[in-house]
Amino acid sequence: MKKIVSFVLVVLLAATCVFAGGSQENGSYTIKVGDNWGVTHPMGRAIAEVFKPMVESKTNGAVKVDIYSDGTLGSEGDLWNGVRNGSIEMAVVGTPFNQEWPKSLISDWPFLYSDLSHAKRVWTGTIADEMNAEFHQKFPTAYMLAWGPNSARTFSSNKKLTQVDDFVGQKFRMPSNPIHVGIAQNLGASAQVIPLNELFSALETGVVDGQDNGMVTILSQSFDQVQKYIYETNHIIATLEIIVSASFFDKLPAEYQETIKEAAKATTEKAWNDYIESVDVDRETLRSRGLTVTACTDADRQTIIAKIQPLLDKLYADNAWATDLTARIQKY
């Protein structure tokens, strides 16, 4: 069974964080960093192995970093609201703000990149810098510092899922994002929005048949214990963003701000490299645990693209920025 954190421990830890995190005493600061992923996810690992030691070392211990993974501080929406209102200093999130800032839907645009290295170039380059600036203009109470990998998203299910026709009639948990929901529906499945920290239980109890996440997330969240099939569609190469509360960040000395920015970028660089190297290992690990992993052929890919064309048409029609930005990314 997936590890269970006691309710009492979570409540006590969250309460401690609220009162202790972000404190300033004698020129010292504490940063709470929250995320919804396990410490084995490349972003979670890079926060622990790169961000925390780099910030603490370069500030000579004046800035302390406390990490709270696996949804300890709440769902993605909770983390986003905490950062924007200043109760949480920093978080690693997907795009829980995509309804307020539709341009962030680009993070989940279907079939946008040629491969993972292409996605890394985009989100560690100038396009990411431009998006960071626009994010702060849209949300003045927060800054976006860097874009790391979530994963190349695959579909998993308890029911047979080895070809495009198998989607019909199945129930999939999808993130609260119109792109993900639209993909499932266009493929003939039904979509149900469930927070990540509730997904294991939903899969275990049959509330849904399957879900879409990268193989790295399937492993880090123990979904392999409650799923039988993986269809390696790689329909979205999704990102995770490091965001920080402006009310906290703006009060830091300039040199500490620069250190945090540099550490965030170094963190995502490390995470992208680690994620790209992990894909083949993750696939073989899942197969060794008895799951059926099926590659998506070029013909399957074209069939899926044709089936989700109504979604793509709507995305381009609804978002004036989409044609130019997707073209720039594809050429990047």
State residue 102 phi and psi, 5-degree precision. Answer: -55, -25
Pairing relationship of beta strands 28-35 and 190-193 according to DSSP bridges? unpaired
Burial tier of 154 (Cβ tally within 10 Å: 0-12, 13-18, 19+): buried
Look at domain 7-150+239-277 and name its CATH class.
alpha beta
- Amino acid letter for position 6: S
Q: Give the domain ranges of the chain.
A: 7-150+239-277, 154-236+280-331
- Amino acid letter for position 206: G
Q: What does the pLDDT read at residue 27? A: 78
* 3 state SS of 125: coil
Q: What does the pLDDT read at residue 16? A: 40
For residue range 232-280, list pLDDT tens digits in order.
999 999 999 999 999 999 999 999 999 999 999 999 999 999 999 999 9
Distances (CA, A) of 30 to 18, 24, 63, 193, 218: 11, 7, 6, 34, 32
Q: What does the pLDDT read at residue 196? A: 87
* 3 state SS of 230: strand
Q: What does the pLDDT read at residue 52? A: 98
Query: Which parts of the chain have pLDDT scores under 70?
Result: 1-26
Domain 154-236+280-331, CATH homologous superfamily name and number: Bacterial extracellular solute-binding protein, family 7 (3.40.190.170)
For residue range 47-81, list pLDDT tens digits in order.
999 999 999 999 999 999 999 999 999 999 999 99
Q: Specify whether the CB–CB gap between 6 and 24 falls below 8 A.
A: no
- Amino acid letter for position 13: L
Q: What does the pLDDT read at residue 22? A: 53
Q: What does the pLDDT read at residue 24? A: 58
Q: What does the pLDDT read at residue 8? A: 35
Pairing relationship of beta strands 90-93 and 237-245 according to DSSP bridges? antiparallel
Strand partners, 7: none
